[in-house]
Chain A
Amino acid sequence: MTAYQIQAEGLRKRYGKTVALDGVDLSVPAGSVFGLLGPNGAGKTTVVRILATLLRPDAGTVRIGGHDLARSPREVRDLIGLTGQYAAVDEDLTGRENLTMVARLLGLPRAEARRRAGELLERFDLTGAAGRTAKTYSGGMRRRLDLAASLIGRPRVLFLDEPTSGLDPRSRGAVWDLVRALVDEGTTVLLTTQYLEEADRLAGRIAVLDHGRVISVGTPAELKRAAGGRTLDVRVTDPGRLADLERVLAGVAGSAPTRSGELVSLPVDATVDGREALDEVLRRAAAEDIAITEIALRLATLDEVFLALTGHDAREGAAA
């Protein structure tokens, strides 16, 4: 028995003079979602391409489902499914034909291939469009078809490379639901994303990748804690009282509040008791008759974590 479904050690890859991966280690427990988080150019796609047997690393070893990727790529391919960054569907074929083709390639007999294709079309809400060629599909429909294609073979390990980039919020939510459903059924999912919210919502564990290196690994909560304190967010009813509120907050924790719109945020470090800080703010605001519409003490967002870890924004390219 292997506890880890995906195990990568010391992955290195360079393209000419550019170092894409500079020693990446990953361990993903079976039946979990693992998020690979990082800006463009951090090396996320390179990791996925190596794990999905599309690219050979210059150094390092990978075991998937207990199989050594370099020695038994075929056994690994039996276990995996891949949805890349671009919807890999044949535009000249219908949705149904795309799925049937993959099913036939995986060795399903004709009737069973059609049945499996129908099942997934249904699941992905594509039955109505099944007879149309994929070039008539919207971006979201293509993405769904692509996802469906990667699930034809009931993969034990699913790689999703930025599965929701370019999708509208509703489609994004649908992909999230699907990932959760798959994991409930025992699939192991490794997904890359530049959306911190996505990693936060889906992944049990996250590795933050920057310049080809894992700079931090942990649960979303651990990462947030590690990146330092919490933030006290307070919103006022009357914008005219913002300056007063800032003064009140500064007096509570001794740190400098920041303002965005009607929201004032105050960093709170670990030495301050959160409960007391909240009480104190409410008391002082009431004393000065400042009406508060919203108040919350929250952990750092992953955006803030990313900034703290890398010194640059998550969306910024890793150009340096």
Chain B
Amino acid sequence: MPDQPLSPASNVEPSDDALFERYRNGDAAAFETLLARHQSALFGFLIRMAGDRALAEDLFQETWLRVVREARRYRAEQKFSRWLFTIANRLAIDELRRRKRWRTVSVDDEEAAVELPANGPSAAVETERRQTLSRIEAALATMQPSLRQVFLLREHSGVSFKEIAAMTDAPLGTVLWRMSAALKHLRKELEADGMME
């Protein structure tokens, strides 16, 4: 979720930093905009990290509460999305280490609200979509946590590999190797299912 520069002369939406500054000055609507902007990416990261919808909901809530509590400590030169995902990543890793368990998201979970096309998919397309989703979730569930962490951070947070290296206290080369290994794992799972040629 790239930050956009604030340009009052155009219709460009305010940057994350501008919104967060407005929120720090008491503008609740600015926070709502910020939440709407990042909720999908953040929740996608958390649910795929945790493999558990209920836990992902808790982590999602806790991440934003930390953002609120530590609002005064946020520095504008720090990218908001990086700060947000650093908090989320730390919370997720701590919680998963504490629980010592990894579960997959059930595709039959009725509460798993997913974004669907406005006109709605046909039954065949929906079945195929669910199979693909199931395969991807299974691939993520069996992926080494450190590989999954890098892969999901890069896919969902929009922060660069360099920033991920800083967030995870790992050298850039290691981060790139983990990304490569994660993709290899994903490829293997999808190829085994005949989804990729």
Same assembly: no
